[in-house]
Amino acid sequence: MATVKDGDVISLHYTGSLDDGTVFDTSEQGSPLSFTVGAGEVIPGFEEGVRGMEIGETREFNIPPENAYGEYHEDLVRVVPRSAFPPNITPEMGLGFELELPSGQTLPVRIIDVEGDEITLDANHLLAGETLTFKIRLLSIDVSAGPAVASGS
């Protein structure tokens, strides 16, 4: 039976959770996730976790921050004055947006605190610093060098 290797396009269902059991994402009630293994389309630890799987197999694995969304960096948290926001925008906790940097690049940030005229922005990924647990079920493998191999979901 075929096993997952780099270059294969695979389809799977997954549930991702944190150490405390909080589910942060799942595909179980929707469309399966499909990606090319080894192409960098998903976090490195996820790619590593699926290698060697067979169609129909279920696997659970943990991904440390360094193989997921990185460590949490305090230097990516900044306090800015309310006056830095356009007058038509009301800064609220959890609001996410992109800042344009002097280089022209954009940086996704979210508001993590609003205190008087001070707004605290965080440019860390929401899952930075977290160990992630994934439970996955492999649905299909499309072997790049040959015909597709698939099973029912």
CA angle 44, 38, 150 (to 5 degrees): 110
Classify residue 152: in a domain, yes or no. no
% of the chain residues with pLDDT over 90:
84
* Whether residue 81 sits in one domain with residue 50: no
* Whether residue 80 sits in one domain with residue 59: no
* Whether residue 60 sits in one domain with residue 27: yes
Classify residue 117: in a domain, yes or no. yes
* Whether residue 78 sits in one domain with residue 65: no
Using an 8 Å Cβ cutoff, are 61 and 67 in contact?
Answer: no
Least confident range of 22-26, 56-60, 97-101: 97-101
Provide the CATH number for the domain around residue 59: 3.10.50.40
- Summarize pLDDT for 30-59 with one digit per residue, the tens: 999 999 999 999 999 999 999 999 999 999
85 is catalytic: no
* Whether residue 103 sits in one domain with residue 84: yes
72 is catalytic: no
Classify residue 1: in a domain, yes or no. no
The count of other CB atoms within 10 Å of the CB of residue 23 is 12
25 is catalytic: yes
Give the confidence band of 145 by pLDDT, cuts at 50, 70, 90: very low
Q: Which domain holds residue 44?
A: 9-69+128-145
* Whether residue 53 sits in one domain with residue 29: yes
| Secondary structure class of 81 (helix, strand, coil) | strand
Classify residue 150: in a domain, yes or no. no
> Does 132 have pLDDT greater than 70?
yes
pLDDT at residue 89, as a whole number: 87
Identified catalytic residue from 8, 55, 69, 134: 69
pLDDT at residue 19, as a whole number: 94
Tally of domains in the chain: 2
Nearest of 111, 4, 130 to residue 55 by alpha carbon: 4
pLDDT at residue 144, as a whole number: 59
Mean pLDDT of the region 88-116: 93
* Whether residue 84 sits in one domain with residue 34: no
24 is catalytic: yes
75 is catalytic: no
Q: Is 47 exposed, middle or buried (0-12, 13-18, 19+ CB in 10 A)?
A: buried
Mean pLDDT of the region 85-103: 91
Provide the CATH number for the domain around residue 78: 2.40.10.330
Classify residue 105: in a domain, yes or no. yes
| Residue labelled with tokens 């790049």 | 144
